[in-house]
Amino acid sequence: MVREEEYSSINLEQSIVEVLKHPTVSSKSFLITIGDRTVGGCTSRDQMVGPWQTPVADCAVMLTSFWRKQGVALALGERPPIAVFDVNASVRMCLGELITNILAAPVHNISDIKLSANWMGAVDDEFSNYDLYSAVSAINNICVECDISIPVGKDSLSMSAIKVENNISKKVRSPISLNLSGVSKLNDTEGIWTPCLDRDIQDSCLIFLDLAEGEKRMRGSTFQSVFSISSGKCPDIDSVKIIKAFSKACNKIRLYEKKHSTKLVHAYHDRSDGGLLATVCEMAFAGRVGITINLDLLTIDSVAKDWGDFKIRTEQVSERRDSLTIATLFNEELGVVLQTTKQQRSALFDIFRSVGLGEHIFEVGSLNKTDEVVFYRDAKCIFRKKREYLQRIWSQNSFEIAKIRDNEKCAQDELDSVADVTSPDHIIEERFKERFTGFVERFQELDAVREETATNHKSIKKVPKVAILREQGVNGHREMAAAFHQVGFNCVDVHMQDLISKTFDLSRFDGLAISGGFSYGDVLGAGRGWAQVVLANNFLREAFFSFFCNPEKFVFGVCNGCQFLSELAPILPGKKEDWPKFSGNISGRFEARQSLVEILPSNSVYFKDFENLILPISVAHGYGRVEGFTNENESVKSVLRFVDLQGRPTESYPYNPNGSTSGLTGFSSADGRILMMMPHPERNFRGDLFSWKPKSWGGAGDFAPWALIFENVYKWIKSQ
């Protein structure tokens, strides 16, 4: 057992390694990539950030409309380790963590936040009853001060178990703890901050805002847990004023950015599990860049400290610096780290001073070109390790679980991918070249088209009509309809039962769009049960066959719709053996990622003018692998393939999430009318629907090139 005053005896490197690999801090990628985060087509911010898709986002953001910038932010707050020692401090820190998380989104006022409180514990004696009463009172009081309401909640208050050792029964009981979920309306979803450092900013600097007013309380921290320490005081919120001031500062920063058309904050991350060490490391991991941190201003003895923004004297350096270094790096008090530029630093500091936070803001570091995480104190380097080495440690837990659950080689490949520092920005921009301006202009004209379609009801009968086809288990029909509607189509929701009952006549439609999802739960195979509904019904079989063979009709199948079309190969144009067959992903798991694809030269009506472009796109499927397909057949051509960060066709995981031969993931009929593809362009038809997008698109509003494949089909239909 190590006492708090003996932190100086603990090796710093060992501390960093142990904290980064602790389950509360380490990567949770294995949990995130198996969940569909883009279904519905309104996800503006998910867990993954940056071109390398690192799972460190502070909050989630969902749009509330396909066409407007309004949305909602969602964030979480939980501090159960503190609850073991001080339940009241624990619930207050839950709220503080939630607020510092959700303010990564442009929340106008913290009073806009609404909470759901999930209480955990074992309430079976007077002591735990008192703890629950005390905790509820504590969260009530601080929420009243912050003008935040808790309209909903739930509880699990029977969390105890009997453990038998040496014929002696012992009750193991959960402490009273709180998990908070918070949502807030967003009047504008522009300007969401992420932890991804921008390594292209030459004069970059890192700013630390200490919302604990200099406190470094360590009890309940990850550091104390890994070294079996249990001493000192718990982190807490001593004053709500500083939280309110921080909220005002965030609003002022965003107003300044809009007024001056510039960015003050290029990256943002809160201090939480793992302390400042985890905060800055996760920012470096997301940006694949080295950082150099100077701890001098943060390790001043609290007794000798002379408050001021940049003041430090030699006599302030005490013999307790080693212990203070540990406490500075690993305390889990409230705080945030921001990336700004030296040029904009003064403006940022002025904003924090204007709300009374001037004495709590410190410049602590910068980026380096050696891809290393470096800590300095007293002009000496006290820690230096490669970013890749630390990120491997941070990713190790996720790897160990994934290699047991999934394909072991895929798990290893994903772990090895942390060494890749190539950003796809360059290859995407290079492939566009002079086409970019024309693409942007075409996209900007779509708003007028959509408004005309929406307001001029008399013309609705004159525009092309597309059937948005769905079946039991399909969940991607709304975003599919939105993507087609944006370019001028009249979209009609058509269920398979509507065709069976002859409510709709398929031949009356100009196009057929088949949405993604899990028809019949994929129980009979991906898309197979859905296809059998058609193939086993003579009326439907003939209707679909006639539609597929009509040279004036188009067909578009995405994900489950793609698999559905593949299973309908017997009635598709050409030889049925020429059409691809889809099997389970090579990882053995459902894969939800943002990947890079290259559009191949073809006569596809969808990809006119798209040849050789490389674009990011959402992927969400469990059965997407194609093997043995060849472009030598005459009736079916490949039009889309996965590429790596250098733009090379790839079968390597995770760049190719399903393991298809040559990365192939999109296929077209010989005449270009029928397209089946596994990725989801309909979930990326607006610029704010990308988890990450190239910087070159930043000045082009909501530009999303995938919207134009739907426009291409519209133009083709109008020309018939």
For residue 141, give the CATH number of its domain: 3.30.1330.10
- Among candidate residues 420, 451, 474, the one where a domain is terminated: 420
Beta-bridged to residue 489, according to DSSP, are: none
529 plus 571 within the same structural domain: yes
10 plus 137 within the same structural domain: no
Overall domain count for the chain: 3
| Token pair 């008399």: residue | 458
H or E element at residue 130: helix 126-146
Closest CA to 405 of 1, 696, 33: 33
| Token pair 């609705």: residue | 460
What is the b/e burial string over 542-559, where b = at least 16 CB atoms within 10 angstroms of the residue's CB? ebbbebbeeeebbbbbbb
Residues 632-663: pLDDT tens digits? Answer: 788 899 999 999 999 999 999 999 999 999 99
The domain that holds 299 is classified in CATH as 3.90.650.10
Beta-bridged to residue 341, according to DSSP, are: 204
439 plus 581 within the same structural domain: yes
Residues 143-177: pLDDT tens digits? Answer: 999 999 999 999 888 888 988 888 898 888 888 99
**Strand 168-173 and strand 160-165: pairing?**
antiparallel
Distances (CA, A) of 352 to 120, 326, 355: 37, 27, 6
Q: What six digits make up the tokens of 393?
A: 């440690």
Q: What six digits make up the tokens of 419?
A: 């060494």
Residues 6+ apart with CB under 8 A from 343: 203
- Per cent of the chain over pLDDT 90 is 85
CA–CA gap between residue 405 and residue 398 (Å, rounded)? 11
Residues 6+ apart with CB under 8 A from 462: none
Query: Do the Cβ atoms of 87 and 175 come closer than 8 Å?
Result: yes
Q: What beta strand segments (E) does 88-132 contain?
A: 113-120
Burial of 60 (0-12, 13-18, 19+ CB in 10 A): buried
553 plus 697 within the same structural domain: yes
What is the b/e burial string over 391-425, where b = at least 16 CB atoms within 10 angstroms of the residue's CB? bbbbbbbbbeebbeebbeebbebbbebbeeeebbb
397 plus 437 within the same structural domain: no
Query: Do the Cβ atoms of 235 and 18 come closer than 8 Å?
Result: no
Beta-bridged to residue 184, according to DSSP, are: 73, 113
CA–CA gap between residue 370 and residue 384 (Å, rounded)? 10
Does 63 fall in a domain? no
369 plus 312 within the same structural domain: yes
Query: pTM for the complete prediction?
Result: 0.94
CA–CA gap between residue 356 and residue 402 (Å, rounded)? 47
Top pLDDT among 7 and 479 is at 479
Distances (CA, A) of 684 to 20, 594, 643, 689: 34, 10, 18, 5
Q: What is the CA radius of gyration of the chain?
A: 28
3-state helix, strand, coil in the chain (%, to 5): 40, 25, 40
- Of 208-212, 355-359, 457-461, least confident by mean pLDDT is 457-461
Handedness of CA 66, 69, 71, 77 (dihedral sign): positive
**Mean pLDDT to the nearest integer, 678-699:** 95
pLDDT above 70 (res 458): no
What's the confidence (pLDDT) of residue 315? 45
Does 45 fall in a domain? no
Q: Which residue type, as a one-letter code, is found at position 712?
A: N
216 plus 89 within the same structural domain: no
Identify the band that residue 344 occupies on the pLDDT scale cut at 50, 70 and 90. very high
CA–CA gap between residue 413 and residue 29 (Å, rounded)? 13
Query: 114 is in which domain, residue-wise?
Result: 70-187
Does 242 fall in a domain? yes
Residues 483-510: pLDDT tens digits? Answer: 999 999 999 999 999 999 999 999 999 9
Query: Do the Cβ atoms of 397 and 23 come closer than 8 Å?
Result: yes
Does 399 fall in a domain? yes
Catalytically active residues are: 559, 680, 682
92 plus 174 within the same structural domain: yes
CA–CA gap between residue 313 and residue 301 (Å, rounded)? 11
What's the confidence (pLDDT) of residue 450? 72
What's the confidence (pLDDT) of residue 457? 54
Residues 6+ apart with CB under 8 A from 570: 535, 576
- Among candidate residues 351, 386, 420, the one where a domain is terminated: 420
CA–CA gap between residue 397 and residue 49 (Å, rounded)? 20
Residues 516-535: pLDDT tens digits? Answer: 999 999 888 999 999 999 99
The domain that holds 519 is classified in CATH as 3.40.50.880
Query: Do the Cβ atoms of 471 and 494 come closer than 8 Å?
Result: no
Does 554 fall in a domain? yes
Closest CA to 104 of 254, 241, 236: 254
403 plus 526 within the same structural domain: no
* Backbone torsions φ then ψ of 591, nearest 5 degrees: -120, 120
Residues 260-316: pLDDT tens digits? Answer: 999 999 999 999 999 999 999 999 999 999 999 999 999 876 555 554 454 555 444
H or E element at residue 293: strand 290-294
Give 513-546 as a DSSP string. EE--B-GGGGTTSTTHHHHHHHHT-HHHHHHHHH
What is the b/e burial string over 16-47, where b = at least 16 CB atoms within 10 angstroms of the residue's CB? bbbbbbbebbbbebbebbbebbbbbbbbbbbb
Query: Do the Cβ atoms of 385 and 376 come closer than 8 Å?
Result: no
**Mean pLDDT to the nearest integer, 594-613:** 97
Residues 6+ apart with CB under 8 A from 99: 77, 110, 113, 146, 182, 243, 246, 247
Query: Do the Cβ atoms of 249 and 358 come closer than 8 Å?
Result: no
pLDDT above 70 (res 29): yes
Does 136 fall in a domain? yes
CA–CA gap between residue 544 and residue 568 (Å, rounded)? 9
**Mean pLDDT to the nearest integer, 657-675:** 97
Does 640 fall in a domain? yes
What's the confidence (pLDDT) of residue 369? 96
* Backbone torsions φ then ψ of 150, nearest 5 degrees: -120, 85
What's the confidence (pLDDT) of residue 474? 96
What's the confidence (pLDDT) of residue 32? 98
Q: Which residue type, as a one-letter code, is found at position 669?
A: S
pLDDT above 50 (res 2): no
299 plus 393 within the same structural domain: yes
pLDDT above 70 (res 110): yes
174 plus 321 within the same structural domain: no
**Mean pLDDT to the nearest integer, 406-421:** 97
Top pLDDT among 601 and 6 is at 601
405 plus 431 within the same structural domain: no
- Among candidate residues 128, 153, 187, the one where a domain is terminated: 187
H or E element at residue 182: strand 177-186
pLDDT above 70 (res 459): no
Contacts 24+ apart (CB under 8 A), 643-650: 643/596, 643/597, 643/598, 643/614, 644/596, 645/51, 645/420, 645/422, 645/423, 645/424, 645/427, 645/596, 646/422, 646/427, 647/424, 647/427, 647/431, 647/596, 647/598, 647/614, 649/598
User: How many helices (DSSP H) and strands (DSSP E) are in the chain?
Assistant: 21, 26
Alpha helices, H only, 456-569 = 477-486, 496-500, 528-535, 538-549, 560-567
CA–CA gap between residue 447 and residue 460 (Å, rounded)? 16
Top pLDDT among 370 and 174 is at 370
| Token pair 């950003």: residue | 423
Identify the band that residue 597 occupies on the pLDDT scale cut at 50, 70 and 90. very high
Query: Do the Cβ atoms of 516 and 559 come closer than 8 Å?
Result: yes
Mean pLDDT taken over the chain:
93
Cα angle 73, 79, 82; round to 5: 160
pLDDT above 60 (res 376): yes
Does 51 fall in a domain? no
Alpha helices, H only, 575-669 = none
